[in-house]
Structure 1
Amino acid sequence: MRSDVRVVVARYNEDVAWLEQTGLDYVVYDKGPDPVADARILPNIGREAHTYLTHIVREWDSLAPHTAFVQGDPFDHLDPDRATGPQDLAAMIIRCAERGVPFRGFAWFKLKCDGLGRPHDLNKPENEGRWAGWGKDIPVERVFRELFNAEPPAHYVARAPAGLFCVSAARVRTRPRAMYEHALRLIEDDPHDAENTGHAFERLWQLIFNGNTLWNKDTYA
């Protein structure tokens, strides 16, 4: 088994048997009512961002050279021309490691939005009740200001929608551990994502991992 990559899975109730087909080292963080064997149990809060940030903070000194962060069932969001199953996903992850790619999103699409996450579908009548933050905007700019010492852009291009991406440990560590701890507190303060805090991270992963150390704050309250 490769030692240079690890797959981190945010599971609720999905069938994650596909992980064995990747041939890669993996860890499952489980928030569901029926956790799988050997999973690390977390409270069901904060969407997948809570899972990913928890892993980074807890494993800071032992991160794999490349970590792929994925949801329990990632395949509907992958490019059908390049990745249709577990082995295809594994090949994408391995390419990132072998080519030294610092960050790559795996979804077949990208999202463009403003500082309120617009356009979004959190106010569509047919989606009422699907999310605690239904009917509200996504606080992309607010979270940006919490994380970075920089002026927020007018528009954001989310290159890792659906929370599917691979990032190198070196790129993770271009930000201080304190930033990730602060990010985790932001999510824990909105545990049911009623204000869409966790949702905002989906629009910000590419900036969190862009390697621009000039954006780092001296301290994180």
Structure 2
Amino acid sequence: MADDVRVIVARYREDVSWLRELGYPFLIYDKSDDPFPGAVPLPNIGREAHTYLTHIVREYDTLAPVTAFVQGDPFDHLSDHGRATVDDLRRIIADVADRGTPFKGLAWFRLKCDGLGRPHDLRKPENRGRWAGWGRDIPVAEIFGHLFQAEPPVQFIARAATGNFCVTRERIRTRPRAFYEYALSLVLADPQDENNTGHAFERLWQLIFNGNAAWNRDRYPGTEA
């Protein structure tokens, strides 16, 4: 049902008028110099990871049964048949809610990488200047180690590499609020993403929300299985 879903939008300057057609309650966090009416302003730091973690920390106790975390223009990566529509996104979210799927990346593809985020496009000459961390690897294994104090896998399979995904309230709460506060602190320590911390989170969302509470216990001894 629509009331079971809330859409959280990380906006910069995108046209988000499509949200009115989507049919779900939404909240926009705006990082632009031209804020969307009614949006919650945030500083333009930390990529969408900063937005999503800020929302979880602030609303941990009042989360919707299902939250769809999306960028201001999520439609280029939802389908392998070209740019998706609002109807496509609505159907995907409805399917997740109806099935009770704990976590689902909304991109049509999965991305495989090693602990340095390779292969990646942060060294392509045509992308020079697009990101502060251009030319550097992505610290996927390093951020994994900070978050979980566990041995990182040799290969990561990112199911939400575009930064668009749905996750249930129960799956978010598998980890305590303090976990997300700590995760947010990692993003805040790299505000312009010069070290590609935000890019690392794009490759880790499926692990953050995988329900493995055992990874929390060393840092958060009160965590329940």
2:70 corresponds to 1:70: yes
Alignment-derived partner of residue 129 in structure 2: 129
Q: CA deviation at 1:151?
A: 1.1
Q: CA deviation at 1:149?
A: 3.2
2:107 corresponds to 1:107: yes
Contact 1:149 1:217 in 2 (8 A): no
2:160 corresponds to 1:160: yes
User: Given the superposition, is the C-alpha separation of residues 82 and 100 from structure 1 closer, same or farther in structure 2, using an over 3 Å criterion?
Assistant: farther
Alignment-derived partner of residue 57 in structure 1: 57
Contact 2:138 2:200 in 1 (8 A): yes
Contact 2:102 2:168 in 1 (8 A): yes
Q: Report the number of matched residues.
A: 220
Alignment-derived partner of residue 208 in structure 1: 208
Q: CA RMSD in A?
A: 1.5
Hey, what's the Cα distance between the residues in 1 that align with 2:117 and 2:217?
A: 24
The list of structure 1 runs, each at least 4 consecutive aligned residues, that deviate by more than 4 angstroms after superposition, is 80-83
Query: Secondary structure in 1 aligned to 2:185?
Result: helix
Query: Secondary structure in 2 aligned to 1:68?
Result: strand
% identical aligned pairs: 65
Q: CA deviation at 1:88?
A: 1.9
1:56-107 superposed Cα distances (whole Å, 9 cap, x missing partner):
0001000000000000000001115598211221121121111110000110
Contact 1:83 1:89 in 2 (8 A): no
Hey, what's the Cα distance between the residues in 2 that align with 1:120 and 1:84?
A: 24
Q: CA deviation at 1:217?
A: 3.9
Hey, what's the Cα distance between the residues in 2 that align with 1:82 and 1:212?
A: 35
Q: CA deviation at 1:126?
A: 1.1
Q: CA deviation at 1:218?
A: 3.6
Alignment-derived partner of residue 223 in structure 2: none
Q: CA deviation at 1:39?
A: 0.1
Hey, what's the Cα distance between the residues in 1 that align with 2:151 and 2:196?
A: 21
Q: Which runs of 5+ in 1 are unaligned?
A: none
